[in-house]
A and B are shown apart, each in its own frame.
Chain A
Amino acid sequence: MILMEGPVDPAAFEAGTGWAITPRGACRAELCVLLPPEATIDGAVDVDTVAARLGMPVVHDAAYDLVAVGPETTVTGRALSTAEAPELELPAFDGRPFNLASLRGQKVILLAWASW
Chain B
Amino acid sequence: MWQELRTELHPRGLEVVTVALDVDPEAARPFVEAAHAEHPSLLDHAHLVDERFGVVNVPNGVWIDEDGTIVRPAEPAFPGKNPVLDQINSIDITTLPPDAAEMLTEARKIKTDPEGYRAMLVDWVEHGAASEYALSPDEVVRRAQPRRDAEARAAAHFELGEHLHRMGDHPAAIPHWREAHRLFPANWTYKRQAWEFEDPMRQGHTDAYNGSWFEDVKKIGAENYYPPIVP
Taking Cβ atoms with an 8 Å cutoff, the residues of A that contact B are: 1-2, 55-59, 61, 63-64, 66-74, 76-88, 90-93, 98, 100-101, 103-116
Q: List 23 A-B contacts (CB under 8 A).
A: A63-B172, A64-B164, A64-B169, A68-B157, A68-B163, A71-B147, A73-B148, A74-B147, A77-B146, A78-B142, A78-B147, A79-B53, A80-B54, A85-B68, A90-B19, A91-B43, A92-B42, A98-B17, A104-B68, A107-B13, A109-B61, A111-B59, A112-B49
> Chain A nearest CB: distance from B197 CB in Å?
9
Per-position binary interface string of chain B over residues 65-85, scored 1 when its CB falls under 8 Å from any chain A CB and 0 otherwise: 111111101100100000000
> Chain B nearest CB: distance from A27 CB in Å?
20
B156 within 8 A of partner (CB): yes
Top 4 closest pairs, chain A to chain B, by CB:
A79-B54, A70-B156, A83-B137, A116-B196
CB atoms of A93 and B41 under 8 A apart = yes
Instruction: Enumerate chain B residues within 8 angstroms of A100, measured Cβ to Cβ.
Output: 17, 64
Q: Nearest residue in A to B175 (C-beta to C-beta)?
A: A61
Instruction: Enumerate chain A residues within 8 angstroms of B67, measured Cβ to Cβ.
Output: 104
Interface residues of B in 121-166 (CB under 8 A from A): 121, 124-125, 128, 136-138, 140-142, 144-149, 151-157, 159-160, 163-164
CB atoms of A107 and B41 under 8 A apart = no
How distant is the Cα of A88 from the Cα of B74 in the complex, in angstroms? 15
> Chain A nearest CB: distance from B157 CB in Å?
5
How distant is the Cα of A68 from the Cα of B152 in the complex, in angstroms? 11
B111 within 8 A of partner (CB): no
**Which residue among B16, B144, B169, B193 has the maximum number of chain A CB atoms within 10 Å of its CB?**
B144
Q: How extensive is the interface on chain B, given as a class?
A: 35 or more
**Which residue among B42, B62, B138 has the maximum number of chain A CB atoms within 10 Å of its CB?**
B42
B7 within 8 A of partner (CB): no
17 more CB-based (< 8 A) A-B contacts, given A107-B124, A110-B61: A1-B159, A61-B160, A64-B169, A68-B156, A71-B155, A78-B144, A78-B145, A79-B145, A83-B138, A90-B44, A93-B20, A101-B68, A111-B2, A112-B61, A113-B20, A114-B21, A116-B22
How distant is the Cα of A10 from the Cα of B70 in the complex, in angstroms? 30
Q: Nearest residue in A to B77 (C-beta to C-beta)?
A: A111
CB atoms of A59 and B157 under 8 A apart = yes
